[in-house]
Structure 1
Amino acid sequence: MSTEVATATAPSLPTTVPAQGMRKNGKQWHEPKSAFRPKAGNGTYEKRQEERKFMAAVKAKEKEMKEEKETERQRRITALKEKRAVKEEKARYEKLAETMHKKRVERLKRKEKRNKMLKS
């Protein structure tokens, strides 16, 4: 039991970088550089394939979200345009009604609707 207590209370040695001495170029404030090894960070082919699959899934999700946002935007725009067109049409018929007889305005309305149906 005394050995367990002794090992538990023993102070651990701090892990520090060993002193390198004076740098040859005199720039002691710079971090010491390590050798350049371009292939050191590369993973396996399977790992790269997994990352590519993950990125493809993320891009597909982003594209889907952007398309949803754009369709919603287009829906709002078309609804607004239709609403404005109806409002303009109503204002135009009100202006005609001020100058003409009511029955004649109704006849013109029906006639214009027939023409629209024929043209479209």
Structure 2
Amino acid sequence: MSTEVAAPKIASQSAAVKPLGMRKNGMQWHEPKSAFRPKAGNSSYAKRLEERKAMEAVKAREKEMKEEKEAERQRRIQAIKEKRAAKEEKARYEKLAETMHRKRVERLKRKEKRNKMLKS
């Protein structure tokens, strides 16, 4: 039973692939070329319009994704800058605390914070 089912499949496959024989120029290893038809790829105006709309949608999505990525990058950079500034300020106050009394340093901190509030 299995040979009866397999036989028709092989016959249909061999009919689909027709042997071309030997080429006159001797270049049997090259793929056979089809005729050159430059207007074969033309499509209707409606189809081109649809493709343009699809491309615009893709470009808009790509732009949105790039903007999100850049915003995330800028957020990380800003966080790093803030962290470094806080670390420098802390080091500066520690250096002041070595020479001055602790309460005086705290007063200076509060005074500087008030000045920052007024400037911004």
Number of corresponding residues: 112
Instruction: Identify if the C-alpha distance between structure 1 residues 10 and 107 changes in structure 2 by more than 3 Å, giving closer, same or farther.
Output: closer
Counterparts of 1:43-62 in structure 2, within 5 Å, are 43-62=43-62
Name the % identity: 80
Instruction: Give a deviation string over 1:52-83, Cα, whole Å, max 9, x none.
Output: 11011011001001101111111111112111
How far does residue 84 in structure 1 lie from its aligned partner after superposition?
1.3
Which residue does 1:4 correspond to in 2? none
Which residue does 2:41 correspond to in 1? 41
Counterparts of 1:92-111 in structure 2, within 5 Å, are 92-111=92-111
Instruction: Identify if the C-alpha distance between structure 1 residues 103 and 35 changes in structure 2 by more than 3 Å, giving closer, same or farther.
Output: same
Give the alignment's TM-score, normalised by structure 1: 0.75
Q: Which runs of 5+ in 2 are unaligned?
A: none
Counterparts of 1:1-120 in structure 2, within 5 Å, are 11=8, 12-13=11-12, 14-15=14-15, 16-17=17-18, 19=20, 22-120=22-120
How big is the alpha-carbon RMSD for the aligned residues of Structure 1 and Structure 2? 2.4
1:101 partner amino acid:
H
Normalized per residue, the structure richer in helix is 2
Q: Which runs of 5+ in 1 are unaligned?
A: 1-7
